[in-house]
Amino acid sequence: MSATKRESWGSLRKLPSGRWQARYPGPDGETYTARTDDDKSLTFLTKTDARRWLAAVHTKISLGQWEPPAVVAARNRADAEQEKARSMGFEEYSKRWLQMIRTEPNRSGKMRAAGTVRSYAGKVTGYLVPEFGDTPLKEIDADRIREMTDRLDQIPAPLNPKSKFNGITRPVLIVLMMILRQAARDGVIPAAPNVSIPRQESVRYDADHDESEDVITPVQVEALYEAVPNQWAIMVQLAAWCQLRRGECLGVQRRDIEWHDDGSATLHVRRQLNANTGDYTELKSEAGKRSLSVPKLMIRRLKEHFNEYVAPEAKAPVIPSSPRGSVPLSNTRWGYIWADARERVPNLPHRFRFHDLRHTGLTLFAQEGATLAELMRRGGHADIHIALRYQHATMSRDRELADRMSVRVAATIAEAPSEGETSQPDSAGHL
């Protein structure tokens, strides 16, 4: 067994292999054997090499620069991981990001819906990975993103090839910036590029499209009701007169309709039929959960629909795929039914959607004098800016009231005893 050689500070020992080992007392009272920066055993070829290393450690301790080998190794490993992350390619990091959003809650503490995750994944695999591939995240700057944006803008809009906007660029850019901002939070990049997201533009229509063109008359709503097969026709009434979204219509169950002794009814909106998963899911926001008075004009039809097509169970779908069935009509199948019905009604606005029935109903609701708060509640809106779009309809009502006031005021003036020479209004109320 090799003898240990005492030094003025620390000790040296010659190993059976002929190499030298160094040991020293640390300032923390522990005795340490020479270790590498990654905390592995360190030996020396000669005694002089070992003594020189020992002297260097003594100097570090004297200057207060010494740290335990395990601490140094941990920091080095962390630095190496960070450096590896900084050189990580987009495709690798985007896979990690997708896994994170599948398994971790968002900032509000809720898990993301399966349809949302699927939508994000589609943007990543369909557009972003083909664009960036293994490009290091740190190289994806504002200029690089602008190049991608220009290429995406050249893709024709599937719904309207003549549209200036394709409905693709903005959602892809949103997902990219979500990934880069998370990378900044993870320390992979110093900060996300300063890129502004373009505002949402209409894809279905040209820039000069007037939203009032999406509104149809009650007579046209009735024609659509008549055009849909009887067992599903109530969908038109629910969308137009209860102002429900498509998923909300398909999500209504027998227990959600509350009948009252005076012949009225209340509709409780509690869930939706998710178009992505085909299952019942929660509504997108708390504002979507609401109770609505069912208009008198559809009470009789709703009762008849219940009697003929809705099963007696409390959870039976109000819009079943088959009469008195337990399975709700799917979003896809309704899409075909709606397309056929729409073709049978003449003079509908170009590209009139089922969702435009809801827009029609909310517009008429606004014309009756509903306040902004009442519109938001009726439509289940969480965003005041969305509800504001329906108040454009109140301008026609405002004009009508202003004209009526004008006629009344003019008539009052005309009937008043004349004092001197005054201008007399004509029959239309013009002074």
- The pLDDT of 148-152, averaged and rounded, is 91
Average pLDDT on 299-322 reads 97
> What integer pLDDT is reported at residue 399 of this predicted model?
65
For residue range 4-60, what is the model confidence (pLDDT) as tens digits?
666 789 999 999 999 999 999 999 999 999 999 888 999 999 999 999 999 999 999
Could you tell me the pLDDT band of residue 129, with boundaries at 50, 70 and 90? very high
DSSP labels, 76-135? HHHHHHHHHHHT-BHHHHHHHHHHHHHHS--TTS-PPPHHHHHHHHHHIIIIIHHHHTT-
Q: Is 368 left (phi over 0), alpha (psi -120 to 50) or beta?
A: alpha
**Distance in angstroms (rounded) separating the CA atoms of residues 255 and 236:** 20
Residue with tokens 């570090």: 60
Strands (E) across 278-370 are located at 280-281, 290-293
Whether CATH 1.10.3470 fits 88-185: no
| Other CB atoms within 10 Å distance of the CB of residue 384 | 11
pLDDT at 291 over 80: yes
> What's the pLDDT score for residue 427?
53
pLDDT level of residue 292 (50, 70, 90 thresholds): very high
Token pair belonging to 272: 């939706």
Fold of the domain spanning 212-356 = hpI Integrase; Chain A (1.10.443)
- Supply the pTM of this predicted model: 0.57
The CA distance from 249 to 237, in Å, is 10
Round to whole Å and give the CA distance between 414 and 229.
Answer: 57
pLDDT band, residue 422 (cuts 50/70/90): very low
Q: Provide the pLDDT for residue 145.
A: 95
pLDDT classification of 424: cutoffs 50, 70, 90: low
Q: What is the residue extent of each domain of the chain? A: 4-73, 88-185, 212-356
Question: In this prediction, what percent of the chain has a pLDDT beyond 90?
Answer: 57
Contact 54, 9 (CB under 8 A): yes
For the beta carbon of residue 17, count every other beta carbon within 10 angstroms: 9
